Amino acid sequence: MHPSEVLFQGKRQPLLLPACDHYAGSEKLMRKSMALQQELGPVFDITFDCEDGAAAGSEVEHALLVTQLINSEDNRFNRIGVRLHDTGSQHFAGDVAAIVGATAKRLAYVVLPKVESTAEVIRAIDLINQHACKAGRNDLPVHVLIETHGALRDAYDIAALPQVECLSFGIMDFVSAHYGAVPASAMRTPGQFTHPLVVRAKLEMVAACHAHGKVASHNVTTDIKDSAVVANDAQRAGAEFGFTRMWSIHPDQIKPILKAFTPRLSEVNEATNILQEAMNAGWGPIAQHGRLHDRASYRYYWTVLQRAKLAGLALPEAAAAIVNQTDSP
């Protein structure tokens, strides 16, 4: 049997996405982010922003610009998504028609902001699919921002929708939705990791994602001048809260986020040694350095290697062989 079949026993494998989701709104910043992606490779995603990126009165022109950039040669890896206007906006349907209708085959995903319920997401997906299918795409991934009380309440059901591959926490709107009951300090560190209501929201969203094998994306770090702050936020988001992805709103934030979520070489080597012994044992239990390992821990170490590969880490030869084997049918 193929290793992935052994480790996941016919169940859907958890989705993995690049650890950094970089947002860009203006034409200058969108082009700059595309140039950086060409330089670094598809180790981070780009999200073109129609919700906050379009100037008032220029929403149609902005959507056309986004369409042109996604369909251009500069979109080398097809790892660019789009945050649409919210479904209650008069511009939502226009965004879907203009962008999805023209770029479906090259669009990495669409992001739905400010949703209030599972039913709202389903309606939005239906409209997205109408235009995507006409353009020859029937599996366009959808990311959903969890930034309202209703979306948090329905996070588990939203994550269960087959076309949804990522839930992303919108801390600023979520805190603002409490109308002063949660202080502004909860939008940034250390408050965002200690305030009970924010901690609860993050943990419930992340738990919903992992229950359905989806990706949990952490909110932005608003401090764009100090890379140590974003590095600390990314490290805590992953190690303490279980996020596997994080927003970036400035190019200088991308590398610290990637570094924080990329497994260390020591972890890669440990995973390689354990999985090699596991394969030699026919995926039965093994003991290494006095510790028992079985298929439960093998799934963990398999994910370590997948995350390292996705981050563009140069894998040792033995690790690359394992990853290539698990990638091949």
Residue type, 165: E
Is pLDDT larger for residue 136 or for residue 329? 136
pLDDT at 325 over 80: no
From-to residues of CATH 3.20.20.60 in the chain = 8-261
pLDDT at 75 over 50: yes
Nearest Cα neighbor of 256 from 224, 287, 304 is 224
Cα dihedral 202, 207, 209, 215 sign: positive
What pLDDT, on a 0 to 100 scale, did the predictor assign at position 30?
97
CATH of 8-261, one of 3.20.20.60, 3.90.930.12, 3.40.50.300, 1.20.1050.10: 3.20.20.60
Residue 56's pLDDT band (cuts 50, 70, 90): confident
Q: Is 250 helix (H, G, I), strand (E, B) or coil?
A: coil
Do β-strands 245-248 and 215-218 pair in parallel, antiparallel, or remain unpaired?
parallel
Q: Is 141 helix (H, G, I), strand (E, B) or coil?
A: coil
Q: In this prediction, what percent of the chain has a pLDDT beyond 90?
A: 86
What pLDDT, on a 0 to 100 scale, did the predictor assign at position 329?
41
Per-residue pLDDT tens over the stretch 275-312? 999 999 999 999 998 999 999 999 999 999 999 999 99
Per-residue pLDDT tens over the stretch 124-155? 999 999 999 999 999 999 999 999 999 999 99
What pLDDT, on a 0 to 100 scale, did the predictor assign at position 147?
97
CA distance 96 to 86: 11
Per-residue pLDDT tens over the stretch 241-259? 999 999 999 999 999 999 9
What pLDDT, on a 0 to 100 scale, did the predictor assign at position 322?
79
Query: What crossing angle do the helices spanning 251-261 and 27-40 adopt, rounded to 10°?
Result: 40
Query: What crossing angle do the helices spanning 227-241 and 196-211 adopt, rounded to 10°?
Result: 60
